[in-house]
Structure 1
């Protein structure tokens, strides 16, 4: 299980980071600040290791940037909308303490009670974060395509890339939010069937 979670963690950061790295390599080549042929002449194993490590680091930076954006510009219809959707489908849970608890704490409680259910929630959340984090490098690519369309020599290709990248940005943003919403819903739905979590939260409220 630890190995599987490690794989998901790797893809969570490495996939968006690889897109960022591709954009930076493209930018460096277009500005004649990077010799791509010299890079590709490196030993294959070393090149793969460097790409994976740099992609992983860039992916972390993307995730951190998204965290700042989320704090400065909170998104409408996020977790609270998902909570209301869950309560609308399960009105008997309205008075349950877990519905109003922090979801990170709930996921930890689920992991203690049912590791398989927690792994499923983590899998959906990792997918949502990965797709959401793809929005930024895709947006950078869209800007580059627009610049190429205006000032470059391959305008038809640039126009096609701009359209595809614009659609990809919108799709990644929408699908990322949808998957994160599913992760929250799955968390509350799992807690509904784990009475020990409700008991622990009630005891904490009584102690407070």
Structure 2
């Protein structure tokens, strides 16, 4: 029920059923509803995705410096995904809020984030300026992620054959050694399984852990 999930939305859409609010509180709790553009008169027809938009906006009495956004657009209709990303962009620009955006969708990370870190099995394998990481990917895992992004209008998909290794994603243990991507990497060398590569600086704000660039 809306009143349990997000009181601000419930109070705004059903004011006669809402509990007594103190003077000035209505403006405060209505800020998320106004910010995402839900019409006051859209009574009883708020979709789950619209409600998700409101719940992604911090309440008016909270002024965070940083928001941890863990998969905020997963399992949403395509039509609402861009709306939530734009909402988060507005929160950054208009309220000076920083975001740590966690996602499996590197295409949206490229759209939203100024800096991107690519992780595999708990290890940062490539990081830096988002444009540098996504337009000039160096680590084979980053290349795999970008190769898997659908290309609208493309006559045929990208060649993924070099990444079709049968190895399972490793269960990393304290005694594990080497690069965690070694068993699935098409460019793996013997040293990849014995020692974790050092950090290599590719550009001013672009770093990678891979023996290909040492």
Do both proteins adopt the same fold according to a TM-score greater than 0.5, normalized to the shorter chain? Answer: no
- Which has the larger share of helix? 1
Higher strand share: 2
Higher RCO (CA < 8 A, seq sep 6+): 1
TM-score, with length taken from structure 1? 0.22
